[in-house]
Structure 1
Amino acid sequence: MSGPAGAVLLPIDLQRAIDHPDWGERNNPAAEGNIAALLAYWRSKAWPIWHVRHDSVEPNSHYRPGQSGHDWKPEAQPMAGEPVIGKHSNNAFIGTDLEARLRAGGHKALVIVGVITNNSVEATVRMAGNLGFDTSLVADACFTFGRRDWNGTWRSAEDVHAMSLANLADEYARIVTTADLLAA
């Protein structure tokens, strides 16, 4: 890794919708605090932060514009001048101008945080890696929820999170921690 200096911090889907009880059991309760620490650090260095917001078109989605869940979580509020990339799918590159904006700005490195590890985060990290961006995923600044696997076996949120990180490690991204980045 060339280091976080100059990397775009890309917080994904940090909206109130993710707190709805319908999601169930989650892992990593410290994620929002870690994200807030990274946002503060990036801002202190004047490094770029581009927020990704899910603008669902599904009628019953908590992420649909106009719903209270569409609002930002307090720990992840964009500040003036920080771009917001609205998306309609789980991948921040699909149907958006994210790639074009990154390339036009000469940005080659991304540091990704947010939700859901095995959904929007994983889809975006895979695409970023495939597009050739130097991508880091902050393991303790993202989280997911427990779910049943294909065979019907219940997997805890921590298991789902760990498997998603394993799927992404090395081939698509470097897996790092908040402490790694704050110490770099």
Structure 2
Amino acid sequence: MEMRENAALVIVDVQKGFEEEVWGRRNNPGAEGNIAALIDVWQSSGRPVVFVRHDSTQVEGSASPLRPGYAGNGFKDFVEQRRGKGSGPELLVTKSVNSAFYGEPDLDAWLKGAGVGQIVVAGIQTNMCNETTARMGGNLGYEVFFPLDAMHTFDLEGPFGWTRTADELSRATAVSLHGGGFAKVVTTEELVAAAG
């Protein structure tokens, strides 16, 4: 795997509100450690890092744990402590929908302005904002890497009484993205080795 000197790390929605019980059972307890490892290697190598924050709107309900002004809106401590610590460019994107490409400021414009052609998408949730951001990144022409062990999601109920565990949803996302050519599903270890 070849990681360019300007490959951007996009850290999606690693916010305190996802620690609340309302979400249910999560998977991958090692996600935070792997996210931290990616941020550290990206910052030490001077590569660009994008921190994305989800600001829930009234449409989603004022009780959302991710709403602005509520403690859950803030980044988890291990992310907040790393912001601004790298030698490379850094961007904060805020959004109220699933894709980081529909936030403020314009992520696509920022990446293209810096000549970035590769992005790594990590964070929360695997099958929601991470998957949507990765799909859009692929559609926009980026080479997208998706470290499945640097993210997590939650069990979910869908139509017809169907339910899927967080692990099942993560596998389905990985198969769809990788098999469909939207992204390359990789491990944190592979990315750290390629970027170090």
TM-score category of the 2 structures, normalised to the smaller one: over 0.9
Q: Deviations over 1:48-91 (max 9, x none)?
A: 10101111113221111100001110121252262100111111
Q: Note the C-alpha offset of 1:149.
A: 3.6
Indicate the residue corresponding to 1:79 in structure 2. 83
2:71 maps to 1:62: no
Q: Note the C-alpha offset of 1:36.
A: 0.5
In structure 2, distance between residues paired with 1:152 and 1:163:
18
Secondary structure of 1:137 counterpart: strand
Superposition misfits of 4+ residues, deviation over 4 angstroms: none
The alignment's TM-score, normalised by the length of structure 2, stands at 0.89
Indicate the residue corresponding to 2:11 in structure 1. 11
Q: Note the C-alpha offset of 1:154.
A: 2.4
Secondary structure of 2:190 counterpart: helix
Structure 2 unmatched ranges of 5 or more:
none
Q: Note the C-alpha offset of 1:4.
A: 5.0
In structure 1, distance between residues paired with 2:172 and 2:4:
25
The alignment's TM-score, normalised by the length of structure 1, stands at 0.94
Instruction: Decide which moves more: 142-151 or 127-136.
Output: 142-151
Instruction: Decide which moves more: 58-67 or 1-10.
Output: 1-10
Percent identity of paired positions between Structure 1 and Structure 2: 39
Structure 1 unmatched ranges of 5 or more:
none
CA, structure 1 residues 179+95, in 2 after alignment: closer, same or farther (shift >3 Å)? closer
In structure 1, distance between residues paired with 2:186 and 2:133:
16
Matches within 5 A, 1:166-177: 166-170=175-179, 171-177=181-187
CA, structure 1 residues 162+174, in 2 after alignment: closer, same or farther (shift >3 Å)? same
Aligned residues: 184
Contact 2:145/2:184 (CA < 8 Å) preserved in 1?
yes
In structure 2, distance between residues paired with 1:32 and 1:111:
15
In structure 2, distance between residues paired with 1:116 and 1:156:
13
Q: Note the C-alpha offset of 1:95.
A: 4.4
Matches within 5 A, 1:15-164: 15-58=15-58, 59-77=62-80, 78-80=82-84, 82-96=90-104, 97-164=106-173
